[in-house]
Amino acid sequence: MLKAKILTLCASTLFISASAQTPKLGVDPIEKVINAMTLDEKLNVLIGSAGNVKSDATATIGSSAELVPGAAGQLNAIPRLGIPATVVADGPAGLRIKPIREGTSKTFYCTHFPIETVMSSTWNVDLVGQIGAAMGDEVKHYGVDVLLAPATNIHRNPLNGRNFEYYSEDPLLSGKICAAMVNGVQSNGVGTSLKHFALNNQETNRTSNNVIGTPRTFREIYLKPFEIVVKEAQPWTVMTSYNKVNGTMTSERSDLITEILRHEWGFKGMVMTDWFGGQHATLQMEAGNDLLMPGKLSQREELKKAVLNGHLSMEIIDRNVKHILEYILKTPRFKGYVADNNPDLKAHAVVTRNAALEGMVLLKNIKNTLPIKSNVKNVAVFGRTSYDFIAGGTGSGDVNHAYVVSLIDGLKNAGFNIDNSLKSSYEAYIPEATAKMPKSTSQFAAFLPKHLIPEMDLSNVNMQKVAKNNDVAIHSMASWSGRWQLGK
C-alpha cells in the first residue's frame, strides 16, 4: 500500500513538473512560448491549416476553414502551448460563409453591404464607420476572427474586374474611407486584413503581372492609401498581392513589407499572403511575410529544408512566429468568445440602405427629371437587369445574402405601379435567353461573373401603348464584375 502511494506521488510530481515547464500563450511571455516550440510547431504557425495538402495552385477563392464552414481559411492550433485555431473569412462587401449547414435548419446568411466604390461615393467617413461596425458585428457573431477586407487598390483602369472591391482612383479618398471602414470593423474586437499590398490593379494575368514604375509613382498614388490606413487605423493584418513589382513578387520584397510597411509606417500587425500567393516560401519568410495561406505541403517542405540546411535562420522564423502569436492574442477565439450565430440582420439592412442611398451619384438631370413628381404613379421599366437584378460582384467579394430588393421590388415598395404587360415580356424573355447562353466549363464557374444576356428586342412591344399607359419610363443598365475577368 505504501509503495502504491509513493508511486502515485511520484507520478503526480512528474505531471506537475512537466506542466510547469510547458509555457502557455497569454500566461507566459511570447518569447518563452516560441522557445518551447519544435520546428514543426513553428511551421504549423507559419503555414495555414491546409499546409499538409499537395497543390500546384497559384490562386484560388478560399474555403478551407473547418470551424466556420465557408470561411476562407484557418490557422493551426497548438493546444499544448495554449494556441487556438483562428478563422479568417472574406470579404469586402460583407462576410462570406456558407449560409446553410448540415445537421441544422438554422441559416447563416449575412448582409450584402454596398460595394466599396459606393462607400467612397458617400464621402462620409462617419457613415462608412457605421457600415464597418455593422460588418464587424456579423464577423464576430458568426465566430470569425479576421475579415479579409477591406481592399484599397487604386482604380487604375475602369475595366478591372475587382474594382468593385476597391474604393477610388484617388489615393487620399481611398485611404480615408478605408481607414474609417477598418476602424468600424475593428471596434467589435475582430480584425481586418488590408489588401492587396500592393499595386494589384488588374485581374488579367494577375499572378504573373509585373508592375513596372518609379518609387515616386508608387508612393504618391498606389501606396498612399495603404499608408493612410496603417497610420490612422492599424489593421490587425495586411495581405500581400499576387503580382510582381519591378520583377519581384510583392510577398518576397523586404523593402515593401519590412522597410516601408513596418519601419516607415509603423505597422504592428501580421502580414499574410493572398491564397497561394508568391513563389518561394523562404524568400517570403525573409521578406517579413509572416503567414502563408491557405498553406501548401511544398511550402512546409521548403521551409524545413531551408532551416535544417542553414539557408533560413531561426531568427527569421521566430520573428514571424512572434507576429502571428501577437495577432492571436487579440482574437475573440483566444479570449474565449463563443459565437451565437445571431447578428441583427434587420438593423444592418437599415444601415445598408442608408449608405446605398448616400452613395448614389446623379451624373446628369436633364429637365429636372428627378426627383420623380408626386403625381407620377405608373412606370414602364426597361432593361434586362431591372428584372434580373445584380446585387454585387462575384468571387471572394460575393456575399450569401438571404434576399435582394430588386429595382422592381423597390419601385413597388415606393407605391409605383409597374407596367405588367412590359414586365411579363421581360419575365418570359430572360429565362429563354439565359438558356441559350454558353455554359462555363471553369471549376470556378460559381464564382465568376456570368455572361449577361442581350437586351430584349423591343420590336414586338407596342411602344405607343406603353407610352399611353405610363407616366414615366425607367431604363436600367448594369455591369457585372469579378475575379479573373475584365468588367462586363
> 274, 388, 398, 419: which one is catalytic?
274
| Bond from prior residue into 93 cis (ω within 30 degrees of 0) | no
Nearest alpha-carbon partner for 90 in 402, 449, 446, 397 = 397
What secondary structure letter does DSSP report for 315? H
Half-sphere exposure of 23 (CA within 13 A, CB side): 13
**Residue 291 forms beta bridges with which residues?**
272
Q: 367 with 131: CB under 8 angstroms?
A: no
Q: How far is CA 127 from CA 112, 154, 172, 360, in A?
A: 16, 21, 17, 14
- SS3 of the chain: helix, strand, coil, percent, to 5: 45, 10, 45
User: How far apart are alpha carbons 441 and 419 in whole angstroms?
Assistant: 38
- Residue 442, number of CB atoms within 10 A of its CB: 10
State yes or no: is 126 an active-site residue: no
| Bond from prior residue into 213 cis (ω within 30 degrees of 0) | no
**Residue 74 forms beta bridges with which residues?**
87
Helices of type H across 93-250: 116-122, 125-141, 171-186, 215-217, 224-233
User: How far apart are alpha carbons 318 and 303 in whole angstroms?
Assistant: 13
Could you list the active site residues?
274
